[in-house]
Chains A and B, each alone.
Chain A
């Protein structure tokens, strides 16, 4: 028995912070479906199990509703099994009723009830669909009592947070981590956690096929699950199906001489044009260094798909040379000295110090004229 385990497509998710390139990222999520279909074909998997959150919202536009169905239609030999998640729970007249009313492709199967369904020869699928965004109880509990023919491979699929695993999932829907053992499952496919991770011998979160935020999965993944037979352990392999890489890099600076190295390292990242980088800078720089940093970041930003710099942890410490560049004396030098004193005064509030620092940078730019 071989199938693909995926989840958290969240089709229709907006990316307003990327401006006019928002559509590129939205489109990438649909491309990921095609990549999964191609992976299934390549791996000889007849089924793709989507463990919840196919859609980003319960009320998508008609086009958003239909686009993933049309992508799946193109892979007619693959059976796509869709499970409602906390983003798209199944409620009467909700998104799944709309999908049904739209006449989905024959190879697309909606699992809207907690009942055993045949999942290919000799296998039964035990789905635990969410009927609301937040469930207090464990919806996989029914699997313990679900009757299947002897010698059948029992595969569970659910969307929620494994109890005691952490707060990585978005929903509060709890799932018992011993469920495979309790319900005699060969595999429990989970969704909600946007990072590929194995919870136990037979429990996996597949992660999302196309990441949508920094700090999570770097590149989109899908799992190929191989179950040799009833009672046999599942063999799981992870495959990249996403287009864009979401990275978070933290760097500590203490001198302008380190900027060259920083740029070199960042330019050395693979697939730079498909990289979305959140760069978290800390430490201190002199005014000239700050100006140089801005100049280098401008170039790096152009090289990447997107560069988001968080410099709230980066303090400006003007050097004597910085101040002399502003002036050796007189009005501007006096103003610079005052701002520097405020920026370095521990008794002053952080916001006020930050403002003084910014004002000093601005003065430097206006007086020296070498701003980025």
Chain B
């Protein structure tokens, strides 16, 4: 189908007959401002094609022109199947319809409505809008272009029929969808979308019940385990109670204790007697040891007195020669010290002489440096004079680089302004005649030949006495430039005056001189730096040198006065005299070392004598003291009687000790050992403890048994065991129930995923033709991109940068609109390929597209226009200027 004429009358703002002109194949554009009636035209065309002529539809009634009581009349001319048709419909007032083919009416009224639909391949509904089929997809009303196409069932059929011609149909798709819907419903009864049990549904309830049962069972089993433990413990304690409470056992333990206590008592008596005998024996032994010690003491003292007397004599003989040795050594030391004193006095005299020579050597060295200082001083004086001269010259020359730059700038400005003025000024050309030379002057200059000059300023030309001609440039022309030029010339004059020169060339020469002076100043500063003078002036340094020369002169004069000579000795003479003093000092040092050695040797002798005297004297004193003490105890007169008495006392004590020791040994044979006594004591203690423990244990057991019986009574009477068994079975059963539900979920999920996978594969195969048609359009706007299609040809997303698709809903409004229009174009192309071309109408589309993208969209629209009619209605006249195609217009003409 291709629309080639649209005529409306009584429609919206078109109260009179109006026609859209220029319609044809390919891209058509009707660009007009807002409220030009574009959308009204669009709605009128839709009504003409898809509404019954006698419809009472509100949207059709709204097409009527306000205030006029005219019928709404729409006439469309179109080509279909190489035939030319015209459909005319009048709505609301005097409704009528007429379908003509080749200028001949072929149907009228309702028949015309339905024949038209049949032509367009639309299955009409009863009394409702038939805005269906491919037109529903390809006719995009105002504000609808950014929505993804959602084909209706009829439109899908059209698309599918186009696809079937290429790849066949989606077999069993509807049944698969029904199965998937049922699976989703049943899964939704059990689990959430993420696979978790759904609250309040059987699986979740069974799971919750299982958890509760498991918890109850664990608690019951714990209680049962505790009860079991209590029963075991009670049995054990009762057995122990019976064993411990046996009277025969008690009697046996009591008898055994009595026997043990008797045995212990007998043992303790024998042990006490043994202790007495042991005490007597120990006492006798102590007396024996004491008298034996006294005898030994007397005998030792007697021997020591004899020995000390002999030693006293030997020590006195050894002390006698030590005094003579000490006297000799002291005399040798005294002589050596006298010699040392004499050597020290000589050394002091030599040192004084050496200091004088060192001072004189210094004076001679300073006197030798005086000439160098004089030369340095003269050089600096000369340099100072050059510096002063240079500084004065620089001060007189003020032509700096900045002044020269300013001069250049102002001269350039004057030149530019002069050139501009000359260009605008009248050009005065004087061509002299053969006799005119020297008779004509311009200003004050007499011309010798032809001349051409621009009259920037009033120009006076004199021709001898014959005439005076004044050429005055127009005041308005160049007045501003003239003013600027005069200002510039004033600035130029002031620059020259400030520099103290007569002209610009003088100023440039002065600048050259100043540059030479600046170079010289740099050289002088470098010289100062080389001489180590950091100040700008060497005056201070010169003063310092002068002061130093005066100091040297004073020093030399003083030295000569001290030496009482007319001239200073030479440095070599001073050095010879210093060497002589050094030799003397070395000799004195050797003599001094020899004397020190002699004194050290004699001091060693003195020390040895003192040591020997101290040692021998100490020993002698010690022996004398000891001898005196021993003699006080054992005088020589009583020595024999005292030794005899001590000997007798020892013999008496030995006899008594032998008797006591024999008695003790006899008792030891009779009494039990310590270990045996301890064993008897332990046995008694053990038996007493055992009896006591038994009593205590019986009491404890009685209490524990009563306690356990109470606990068991409480726990056992409530049917705990039965309850646990019931819980266990209920838990097992619920566990199986949960497993059954889970298995069911897994089965349903597996079936769902399998059917979905098969469905997706087949659907993708069916989408291939649409994708093939979409590819060139998509490439016009989104190169290398790929559209993902979903259920019912819906747009799921787009792959642009990488393998992951961007969700269509999350794209910008502009991109969504562009993709939606491209998909519609592809659908149109696909239907067109099937021999059912439908015009694509876009009303106020691409409103969100930027400049770049909209041009790419124009490419796509023109691509579509190569094979089918595209009608674009827009108010954006400028933005759509580059669309190309046929420009439509609306022409109104009465009746």
Residues of chain A at the chain B interface (Cβ within 8 Å): 12-17, 56-62, 64, 91-95, 98, 131-132, 327, 329-335, 338-339, 355-356, 358-359, 362-363, 366-367
Contacts and interface: CB of A to CB of B under 8 A. Distances in A.
A192 B224 CA distance: 22
Nearest to A12: B722
B755 A14 contact: no
B751 interface: yes
Interface string B207-247: 00000000000000000100110011011001000000000
A362 B754 CA distance: 12
A334 B231 contact: no
A56 B722 CA distance: 8
Contacts of B609: none
Given A92-B235, A335-B754, 5 more contacts: A57-B724, A59-B718, A59-B719, A93-B712, A358-B743
A331 B759 contact: yes
A17 B730 CA distance: 8
B721 interface: yes
A69 to B, nearest CB: 15
A93 B232 CA distance: 10
State the majority secondary structure of interface residues on B. Answer: helix
Interface in B728-761: 729-730, 732-733, 743, 746-748, 750-751, 754-755, 757-759, 761
Contact of B751 (A61, A131, A362): A362
Interface in B689-744: 708-709, 712-713, 715-726, 729-730, 732-733, 743
A61 B235 contact: no
Nearest to A92: B234
B227 A339 contact: no
B188 to A, nearest CB: 15
A91 B235 contact: yes
A59 B716 contact: yes
A327 B172 contact: yes
Nearest to A13: B725
B743 A331 contact: no
Given A59-B224, A61-B718, A366-B182, A91 B232 contact: yes
Nearest to B724: A57
A356 B753 CA distance: 11
Interface stretch (B128-136, B173-181, B632-640): B173-181
B519 interface: no
B762 A330 contact: yes
Given A59-B227, A60-B722, A359-B751, A17 B716 contact: no
B721 A332 contact: no
B341 interface: no
B721 A58 contact: yes
Contact of A359 (B723, B754, B758): B754
Contacts of A355: 743, 746-747, 750
A16 B716 contact: no
Interface residues of B, number: 50
A187 B718 CA distance: 38
A130 to B, nearest CB: 12
Contacts of B751: 335, 339, 359, 362-363
B722 A334 contact: no
Contacts of A333: 172
A358 B754 CA distance: 13
B320 interface: no
B466 interface: no
A363 B747 CA distance: 10
B179 A16 contact: no
Given A58-B716, A60-B719, A362 B762 contact: no
Contacts of A358: 743, 747, 750
Contact of B716 (A93, A131, A327, A332): A93
B171 interface: yes
A338 B709 CA distance: 68
Nearest to B239: A92
B176 A59 contact: no
A64 B719 contact: yes
Contacts of B717: 62, 98
Contacts of A95: 716
Nearest to B720: A59
Contacts of B171: 327, 329-331
A37 to B, nearest CB: 24
A59 B172 contact: no
19 contacts: A14-B722, A17-B729, A58-B228, A60-B719, A91-B234, A92-B238, A93-B712, A93-B713, A98-B717, A332-B172, A332-B175, A332-B179, A335-B751, A335-B758, A338-B754, A358-B750, A359-B750, A362-B748, A366-B182
A332 B176 contact: yes
Contacts of B231: 58, 91-94
B474 to A, nearest CB: 96
A17 B227 CA distance: 27
